[in-house]
Amino acid sequence: MTLASDFKIDRGLGVTAAKGFRAGAATCGIKTSGKPDLAVLVCEVEAAAAAVFTQNRVVGSPVIVSREHLARRSTMRGVVVSSGNANTCTGEQGVADAREMVALVARRVGCEPEALLIAQTGVIGRPLPMDKVRAGIPAACADLAAGCDADAAFAGAIMTTDTVRKQAGTRVALAGRTVTIGGATKGVGMVAPNMATTLSFLSTDAAVEPKFLQDALGRAVGRTFNCLTVDGHTSTSDTMAVLASGFAMQGKAGRRPGVAGLCPGEAGAVVGGTPEGNLFEAALHAVCDSLARQIVADAEGGTKVIEVRVTGAASDDEARRAAGAIANSPLVKCAFFGQDPNWGRIVSAAGMAGISSGPETMRLALGSVVIFERGTPVAADRAALKAVMAAREIAVHLDLGAGRGRARFLTCDLSYDYVKINAEYTT
């Protein structure tokens, strides 16, 4: 069985690393900082498409438009992304503005508006400066290119309060061909599991059957981005989309480039329940895992990357609830910021998650240091425990002693800087 950890991740592989994709970026003036704020990713042909979106009931206009487009078709030509303004709670005008942006890009790319997805991120409740957007779109579409510079431009333009660009990719052999998966993400705050909790865009030159692509994306997100939290707040804009061009498998069985895998059952397309499908899904999972970790590493005000593992639960669902409660607890997160090994906060957070275990069966370790077992604290080596808490990355392992259920969450600490950043976000 191939695992996500078996793949070599290359952070130099971005959204155009896969064959058939080009990207561009521009500065429209949506952001007051004067930094790039508009990005476009385009496939040369119709690509199999899949996406997941926020489950927040307060949803952004771009999510409304993208959901509509994806409900009508299983192939797309690309995505348009803007940052600095979420275009959320902007009424009918906000939806109209999102549709206009898609139409303007479609005209430049040479496709139908419904063949594009749209994503936007930033401040909620402010109308888009459409005069600036209309002027910026031609610039973003003028020099579409592939390569490291184009990848970096795309990854930079989708950032809001991110301090670094975030991208990752890998290569895998499928059906005798080398296939690439590359992607970019953004997100450092307003991040909590309930879809993808960020904006993320993946591209691959594998030939993938659309339904399997959607299913594989959902499972990969469920194990990575949906097990990620910075502050317990699900965004209104969350979007993760993946496009599959099929270019790496072009020429096989007489198929035209870029059409491979668009039809269910087509010979050579990667489908579920096959060795190739399992391998592709594991590679997709690996890329998503890297992107999720990069978000935690850049979390607003964060000084620690914390991996919470819960094992021995009565079920995977119980393990997930316990891990999520620990990862989202402000008390736990503050303790890690202060390098305080306060085990009471950790076990009590798990206990309030509706689990069937009690403290009498629990075992808690920070790093390799056991500090709580079977209802009582353990006298731990203070120097070893101090070293664990001082590290940049900290592993938390809670075994509930009740079964075989397991789950993992990624989180960060809660610092003074997080409060400052979010206290002054719009002022």
State how far the alpha carbon of 417 is from the alpha carbons of 229, 292, 309, 391, in Å.
Answer: 17, 21, 26, 19
∠ CA 301-304-307, rounded to 5°: 130
Across the strands, what pairs with 40? Answer: 24, 80
Query: What is the C-alpha separation between 341 and 73, in angstroms, rounded?
Result: 51
Question: 380: Cβ–Cβ under 8 A, 6 or more apart, which residues?
Answer: 341, 369, 370, 371
Q: Which residue has the tokens 């007489």?
A: 254
Q: Residue 80: what residue type?
A: V
Residue 321 token pair? 């609830």
Residue 242 token pair? 């993946």
User: Is residue 229 annotated as part of the catalytic site, yes or no?
Assistant: no
386 burial (CB, 10 Å; 0-12 / 13-18 / 19+) is middle
- Catalytic entry in 54, 185, 197, 204: 197
Taking CB atoms within 8 Å and a gap of at least 24, the contacts of 173-177 are: 174/206, 174/248, 174/249, 174/270, 174/276, 174/279, 174/280, 175/249, 175/252, 175/268, 175/270, 175/276, 177/248, 177/249, 177/252
Query: What is the C-alpha separation between 18 and 7, in angstroms, rounded?
Result: 16
The set of catalytic residues is: 197
